[in-house]
Amino acid sequence: MNEKSQSTISLLNAIIESTADGILVVSNDGHVLRANKKFQKLWNIPDSLLQLKDDNKLLDFILDQLIQPELFIKKVQELYSNPDEESYDEITFKDGRIYERYSTSYKMENNTLGRVWSFRDVTEQKRTEETLRKERILFRTIIDNLPDAIYAKDSEFKKTLANTADIRNMGAACEAEVLGKTDFEFFDPESAQAFYNDDKTIVDTGKPVLNREESFTDKEGHRNWLLTTKLPLIDSTGKITGIIGVGRDITLRKKNELIREALYDISEAVLITTDMYTLYKKIHEAVTILMPAKNFFIALYDDQKNVLSFPYMVDEYDPPFASKPLGNGLTEYVLRKGESVLIDAQKDLELRATGEAQVVGTPAAIWLGVPLKDEKKILGVIVVQDYDNPKAYGFDEMQLLGFISGQIAHAISRKRDAEAIEKYVAELNDLNKTKDKFFSIIAHDLKNPFVTLLGFSEILLSDFKELQSEEVLYYISEMKKSADISHSLLQNLLQWSRSQTGKIEYYPQQLELKNIIRQNILLVNKSAEKKNINIMNNIQAELKVKADEDMLNTIVRNLLTNAIKFTSKEGIISVDASSQYGCAEIRIKDSGIGMDEETVNKLFRIDVTHSTSGTENETGTGLGLLLCKEFIEKHGGKIWVESKENVGSTFHFTLPQKE
């Protein structure tokens, strides 16, 4: 062997001895050609056995150390039967050691001379790997069972880790669906952009986000809230490689807060708003805190008139609905059921098919209606609808709106009552002021006749003997006129005051109108004869009205007296009537002096007492016309006048003919 060969062999021996692996070289006939010290140490082989250079004896020694010796020897035999095959596997010892085994053919000039075996002790490595595996399982078990969402993202804001809660928030089925993807692939654009802005700021500045409230809309269209903390991920070189985040679901807490906020706003609105429309607007704003409410309306039901009104409506497509009789719309469907109703496209088709309800206005993708109940009485319905997103409302939104609907109904009822009271108080104040003014005028008018009575009676008492009979007759005649005026005024005033206090009796019955007119013409005929006025009763005999007889007599007598007063000598007064829509319209027409428009506008007003002298200087207070108006309205009728100066006046009034 030359020096170069000897040098090569020495180098190979040094390499074999210095390797960390145990090396064994066996010839085709089972003779051990080479084994390094590491091999001897790994297998605890005594020198005496190794010196025998017998592979079979080595195998017998080795097999006793293994957990599965039969598998070991089987693999050895397979490899010896297939000299060119390579093999890699692991073997486990009874004492817990684990070795990697590698084997390949030993060749020279393409001739297989034997097999090389390499063994490496990987016990610590495997123990470390197993520890890491168990720790990873423990870590995943912990984070996947935490209620908080835990996630990590790389510098491109793609998910590298997502626990079960985070996967659920993203609407995915498993972690594999979200890894390597951004928030824009799972969340609505607005929420995803907000998340991205946060993440980028953290990566750019290295500053964390701590306990920030964030909201997002999930794939079902529901709004959720998270209390989020995000930290930068920093590698061993100090470089920021991404972020790690924790998000605690505070949706339930947030909804409760928003409910309290909405209820407070509604309660406050009752106190601070000046009108109903502003209250409705505040209610709309409160509902918007809880859910999408771009399309919103409040419908109120009047059970007395059976009418549905829409005092507040905001909609993307439809103008506000006009008041209408109760029909077969979705709002009426909620009123009939008396409970909250969520209607999607399928439910809408079902209701229309059965005839239970029909859509009014533009069809919505989802429609939610909740009855407004106040002390078991349904005031109306509050409605939200969405034309684009069929998942905008669900069971949660129906519960939320149902929960606050009672407060809304109570707020509306309180505000309506408060407005009614304010209006009633204002009306009472105005009425009291008007009555004070009215009574001051009446007192003045009532005083005047007594001035005449007292003055003329004093003249008669003091100068009776000196007076001529014609003078005495004149004074007595004037005193009689004053007494008549006072009596008429007091009679009307008494009846009017009784009607105002509700003490006057009201007994409507079927009356023959012609007969009532005839009786009252007889009562006033003496006054008409003095002026040679002809009063014509043109009422048809069969015409009847449903009225209180005493009140009707007062109405007719006052209107006839008024017509006589303002009709000149030789004039004509006519009374006629006609029937229409279950009512009788009675007309008392005179050929008198008539009135201008300003005078007509002052009639029937308690705050403006207008008295004009008659054609023979007859006086009055206007109280008779007020009394007529009171009594006519008591019957559900109305009174008005048409007049033209120097032509005459026609007083019209209506009365019912049946119940």
Q: Is there a single domain that holds both residue 152 and residue 55?
A: no
User: Which helix (H) or strand (E) covers residue 107, if one does?
Assistant: strand 98-108
Structural domain contains residue 178: yes
C-alpha 209/C-alpha 232 separation (Å) is 9
Q: Is there a single domain that holds both residue 581 and residue 638?
A: yes
**Low-confidence spans in the chain with pLDDT less than 50:** 441, 444
Q: Is there a single domain that holds both residue 300 and residue 449?
A: yes
Q: Is there a single domain that holds both residue 326 and residue 301?
A: yes
Residue 496 has a pLDDT of 58
Q: Is there a single domain that holds both residue 644 and residue 535?
A: yes
Q: Please state, as a whole number, how many other Cβ atoms lie within 10 Å of the Cβ of residue 570.
A: 10
Structural domain contains residue 108: yes
Name beta bridge partners: 536. 574
Q: Is there a single domain that holds both residue 417 and residue 512?
A: no
Closest-CA residue to 545 (of 650, 649, 653): 653
In degrees, rounded to 5, the angle at the alpha carbon of residue 434 between the alpha carbons of residues 428 and 440 is: 135
Q: Is there a single domain that holds both residue 21 and residue 83?
A: yes
Give residue 347's Cα distance to chain centre. Answer: 21
Q: What are the CA-CA distances from residue 573 to residues 85, 232, 557 (Å)?
A: 138, 103, 13
Q: Is there a single domain that holds both residue 116 and residue 243?
A: no
Structural domain contains residue 538: yes
C-alpha 67/C-alpha 61 separation (Å) is 14
Structural domain contains residue 594: yes
Q: Please state, as a whole number, how many other Cβ atoms lie within 10 Å of the Cβ of residue 184.
A: 14
342's tokens: 């969520």
369's tokens: 């209606």
Q: What is the pLDDT of residues 379-409, one digit of tens each?
A: 999 999 999 988 889 888 898 888 888 888 8
- DSSP β-ladder status, 149-154 and 240-249: antiparallel
Number of domains in the chain: 4
What is the strand order of the sheet 639-644 is part of? 534-537, 572-580, 583-590, 648-656, 639-644
Contact of 242 with 233, CB cutoff 8 Å: yes
Contact of 547 with 509, CB cutoff 8 Å: yes
C-alpha 530/C-alpha 570 separation (Å) is 10
**CATH number of the domain residue 462 falls in:** 3.30.450.40
Q: Please state, as a whole number, how many other Cβ atoms lie within 10 Å of the Cβ of residue 41.
A: 11
* Cα distance from N-terminal residue to C-terminal residue, the chain: 143
Last residue of a domain, one of 86, 121, 156: 121
Q: Please state, as a whole number, how many other Cβ atoms lie within 10 Å of the Cβ of residue 541.
A: 9
- DSSP track, 414-461: HHHHHHHHHHHHHHHHHHHHHHHHHHHHHHHHHHHHHHHHHHHHHHHH
Structural domain contains residue 243: yes
C-alpha 490/C-alpha 219 separation (Å) is 81
Could you list the residue range(s) of the whole structural domain that residue 219 is in? 146-249
Q: What are the CA-CA distances from residue 439 to residues 12, 116, 434, 436 (Å)?
A: 138, 133, 9, 5
Number of residues that make up the chain: 659
C-alpha 304/C-alpha 301 separation (Å) is 9
Give residue 268's Cα distance to chain centre. Answer: 17
Residue 269's identity, in one-letter code, is: A
Q: Is there a single domain that holds both residue 115 and residue 152?
A: no
**CATH number of the domain residue 561 falls in:** 3.30.565.10
C-alpha 362/C-alpha 297 separation (Å) is 14
C-alpha 469/C-alpha 542 separation (Å) is 52
Q: What is the pLDDT of residues 160-203, one digit of tens each?
A: 999 999 999 999 999 999 999 999 999 988 899 999 999 999 99
**CATH number of the domain residue 162 falls in:** 3.30.450.20
- DSSP track, 186-208: TS-HHHHHHHHHHHHHHHHH---
Structural domain contains residue 267: no
Q: Is there a single domain that holds both residue 177 and residue 116?
A: no
Residue 322 CB partners (closer than 8 Å, separation 6+):
310
Last residue of a domain, one of 198, 222, 249: 249
Last residue of a domain, one of 482, 501, 520: 501
Contact of 532 with 569, CB cutoff 8 Å: yes
Backbone φ and ψ for 343, nearest 5 degrees, come out as -120, 115
Name beta bridge partners: 579. 584
Q: Is there a single domain that holds both residue 531 and residue 600?
A: yes
- Rg for the chain (alpha carbons), in Å? 54
Residue 444 has a pLDDT of 45
Contact of 55 with 30, CB cutoff 8 Å: yes
